[in-house]
Amino acid sequence: MGDWIVSSPGVLGGKPCIRGTRISVEHIMELLASGASREDVLRAHPHITADGLAAALQYAARSLKNEVVWDLKIPA
């Protein structure tokens, strides 16, 4: 993943983006979730490289890897 994913408070409110772009990891995930292929994403955003796209996917996977789910029972 290296330094492909960057976050700056002045760019998209600090959301993680692919370096050199204003394309957020969130946007990439939304495109893929809506059915776009990697090739579709790269064609629609020619300034994103295959390495940058792969880094965005790795970033998202690593972010979810540490997610903790709590099963709380709240009495009514």
**Residue 69's pLDDT is what?**
84
| pTM score, whole prediction | 0.82
List the domain boundaries for the chain: 5-62
Residue with tokens 């979810």: 64
**CB burial string 26-48: b at 16+ within 10 A, e below:** ebbeebbeeeeeeeebbeebeeb
Nearest CA-CA partner of 44 in 60, 32, 59: 32
- R_g (Cα) of the chain, nearest Å: 15
The class that CATH gives domain 5-62 is mainly alpha
CA–CA distance, 2 with 6 (Å, rounded to integer): 10
pLDDT tens digit sequence for 35-51: 999 999 999 999 999 99
